[in-house]
C-alpha cells in the first residue's frame, strides 16, 4: 500500500489543513505569501481563474479569483485541491528506474532519455512500429497536443494514437460534425442565464460540473423552466420543473417522439428550417410513427410527461440544450446527439441570443482542439512533458 512520503503534520505545515475540512484555526497555511499570482486551474479545459499564493516562488495556498468572468471565484473539488500539487513532497520531479530485486532508484535525465529511446527502438525493431500506442489527454496546451501527435506519427510512426476524448465526448463531436460540419458550441455561457427553457439530457451537472450549475440556478431565478432527462434522480433532477426518468439506452425514441409532437402542433420555425437546414422532410418522415404512447412503451416515461416536455420546448422562444455523456456513451450515441440537435433546429434555436445548440457540457475548448490536432497526457510538470517530447523527437532524429 502507498505510504505518505512525509508526515501529515509536515503537509499541514506546508499547505494548511485540507480544504475539505474546516480546521479550527481557519483555512490559512502557516506560510504567509509574498505574492499572489493570478492564473488558471490547469486540470480541465474549463481553465477556471484562480489566485495562487506564493512564497519564495513556491505555492503555499490559493484564493478564489472573484472577478474572473467565467467561474467568478467558483472551483470544482479538483481545482480546490490543485494548489497542493506543485510542491507536494510526493511529486515525481526527476526520473527513476525500476531495478529488478532493488526497486526504484533515481537516475539522471540523460540516462533516462537514452534508455527510453533505446528500449522503444528495440521493441519496435522486434515487433514493428505499431507495437507502441500513444494515449493522450486534454489537460495539455494546444502546442503540447500538437507535439504529441507529431511524436506518435513522425517519431514512433505508430498508427495507434488516441486520447481520452475517444470515450468522453466523441459521440458529441460526431453528432455536431454531422449536423453543423464542425464540433463547436454556438453561444457563450453568459446566454444561459437568460434562456427560458433549459433541457439537460444525461448530465448530472450539479455534481459533475459545479462551475456550470450556478448559471442554471441563475437562469431559474430569472424564470427559466428546467427539463431533466436522466434515469437517476440527480440533484438537478430533484429540483427540475420536469424530470423524465428514461430507461437507459432509449434516448432516441424520446427525441423522435418530441420532434413528432412539435411537427403535429406546428411548434416549428419554418423560416429557419427553410433557410438553414437540409433534409427536414426526410427527418420528420422518419419520426412520423413515433407517437407519445409508442415512446412511453420504449422509454418508460409517461406519454403525458413527453407531451409536456415537447410543449415546454416548442412554445418558448429561447432555450438551451445541454447534453452530456449520459446520452453520448452508447453504441447509438451519435444518433442520440442528433436527436437533441433536431429539436434545436426544428425550433430555430440557433444563432440568436439566449439559445445554445448544443452545449456538450464538457471541458470544451482544449478538448475540441485535442480532438482536432491530437494530444497527449500524463500529469507530470507541463514543462518536463514538453521538453521530454522535444528531446525524444530529437533523439529520433526528427
**Shortest distance in whole angstroms from residue 72 CB to ligand SF4:** 11
- Alpha-carbon distance of 273 to 344, in angstroms, equals 10
Nearer to ligand SF4 by C-beta: 47 or 347? 47
Instruction: Tell me which residue of 256, 224, 248 sits closest to 322, measured CA to CA.
Output: 224
Please choose, out of 73-81, 123-131, 171-179, 272-280, the segment that lies near ligand SF4 by the rule CB under 6 A: 73-81
| Strands 96-99, 58-64: pairing kind | unpaired
Positive or negative: CA dihedral 370, 371, 373, 378: positive
Check: CB of residue 16 under 8 Å from CB of residue 27. yes
Contact track, ligand SF4, 30-59, x by CB under 6 A:
-----------x-xx-xxx-----------
Return the residue of 79, 256, 326, 333 that touches ligand SF4, per CB under 6 A. 79
SS percent in the chain: helix, strand, coil, step 5: 45, 15, 40
- Alpha-carbon distance of 215 to 192, in angstroms, equals 6
Residue 368, interface with ligand SF4 (CB under 6 A)? no
Q: What is the dihedral of CA 172, 177, 180, 186, to 10 degrees?
A: 50
Nearer to ligand SF4 by C-beta: 75 or 263? 75
State the greatest distance between any 2 C-alpha atoms of the chain, in Å, as a whole number.
75
Nearer to ligand SF4 by C-beta: 82 or 349? 82
Write down the residue that cell numbers 416548442 correspond to: 314
Q: What's the per-residue H, E or C state across 355-367? A: CEEEECCCCHHHH
Residue 75, interface with ligand SF4 (CB under 6 A)? yes
Q: Find the residue with minimal CB distance to ligand SF4.
A: 79
Instruction: Give how far Cα 307 sits from Cα of 199, 225, 260, 303, Å.
Output: 14, 15, 10, 6
Residue 364, interface with ligand SF4 (CB under 6 A)? no
- What residues numbered 280-319 form the site for ligand SF4, per CB under 6 A? none
Contact track, ligand SF4, 152-191, x by CB under 6 A:
----------------------------------------
Contact track, ligand SF4, 184-213, x by CB under 6 A:
---------------------------x--
Residue 60, interface with ligand SF4 (CB under 6 A)? no
DSSP secondary-structure letter at 137? B
**Shortest distance in whole angstroms from residue 382 CB to ligand SF4:** 14
Nearer to ligand SF4 by C-beta: 80 or 312? 80
Instruction: Tell me which residue of 361, 291, 376 sits closest to 329, measured CA to CA.
Output: 361
**Shortest distance in whole angstroms from residue 36 CB to ligand SF4:** 17
- Residue ranges binding ligand SF4 (CB under 6 A): 41, 43-44, 46-48, 71, 75-76, 78-79, 211
Amino acid at each position: 500500500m502507498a505510504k505518505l512520503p512525509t508526515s501529515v503534520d509536515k503537509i499541514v505545515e506546508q499547505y494548511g489543513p485540507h480544504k475539505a475540512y474546516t480546521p479550527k484555526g481557519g483555512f490559512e497555511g502557516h506560510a504567509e505569501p509574498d505574492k499572489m499570482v493570478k492564473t488558471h486551474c490547469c486540470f480541465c479545459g474549463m481553465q477556471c481563474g484562480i489566485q495562487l499564493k506564493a512564497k519564495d516562488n513556491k505555492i503555499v495556498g490559493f484564493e478564489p479569483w472573484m472577478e474572473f468572468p467565467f467561474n467568478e471565484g467558483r472551483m470544482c473539488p479538483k481545482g480546490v485541491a490543485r494548489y497542493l500539487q506543485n510542491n507536494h513532497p510526493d511529486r515525481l520531479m526527476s526520473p527513476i528506474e525500476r531495478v529488478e530485486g532493488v526497486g526504484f532508484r533515481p537516475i539522471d535525465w540523460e540516462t533516462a532519455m537514452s534508455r527510453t529511446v533505446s528500449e522503444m527502438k528495440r521493441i519496435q525493431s522486434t515487433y514493428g512500429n505499431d507495437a507502441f500506442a500513444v494515449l493522450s489527454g486534454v489537460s495539455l496546451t494546444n502546442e503540447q497536443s500538437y507535439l504529441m501527435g507529431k511524436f506518435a506519427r513522425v517519431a514512433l510512426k505508430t498508427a495507434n494514437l488516441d486520447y481520452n476524448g475517444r470515450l468522453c465526448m466523441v459521440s458529441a463531436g460526431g453528432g455536431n460534425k454531422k449536423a453543423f460540419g464542425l464540433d463547436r458550441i454556438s453561444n457563450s455561457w453568459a446566454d444561459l442565464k437568460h434562456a427560458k427553457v433549459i433541457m439537460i439530457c444525461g448530465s448530472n451537472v450539479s455534481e459533475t460540473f459545479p462551475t456550470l450549475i450556478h448559471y442554471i440556478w441563475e437562469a431559474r431565478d430569472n424564470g427559466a423552466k428546467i427539463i431533466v432527462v436522466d434515469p437517476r434522480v440527480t440533484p438537478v433532477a430533484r429540483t427540475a420543473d420536469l424530470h423524465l426518468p428514461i430507461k437507459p439506452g432509449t434516448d432516441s425514441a424520446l427525441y423522435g417522439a418530441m420532434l413528432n409532437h412539435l411537427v403535429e402542433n406546428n411548434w416549428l420555425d419554418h423560416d429557419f428550417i427553410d433557410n438553414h437546414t437540409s433534409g427536414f422532410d426526410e427527418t420528420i418522415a422518419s419520426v412520423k410513427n413515433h407517437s407519445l404512447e409508442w415512446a412511453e412503451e420504449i422509454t418508460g416515461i409517461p406519454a403525458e410527461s413527453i407531451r409536456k416536455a415537447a410543449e415546454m420546448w416548442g412554445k418558448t422562444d429561447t432555450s438551451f440544450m445541454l447534453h452530456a455523456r449520459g446520452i453520448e456513451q452508447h453504441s447509438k450515441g451519435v444518433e442520440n446527439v442528433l436527436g437533441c440537435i433536431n429539436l434545436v433546429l426544428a425550433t430555430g434555436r440557433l444563432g440568436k441570443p439566449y439559445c445554445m445548440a448544443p452545449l456538450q457540457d464538457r471541458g470544451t475548448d482544449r478538448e475540441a482542439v485535442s480532438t482536432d490536432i491530437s494530444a497527449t497526457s500524463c500529469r507530470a510538470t507541463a514543462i518536463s512533458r514538453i521538453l521530454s517530447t522535444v528531446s525524444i523527437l530529437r533523439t529520433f532524429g526528427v
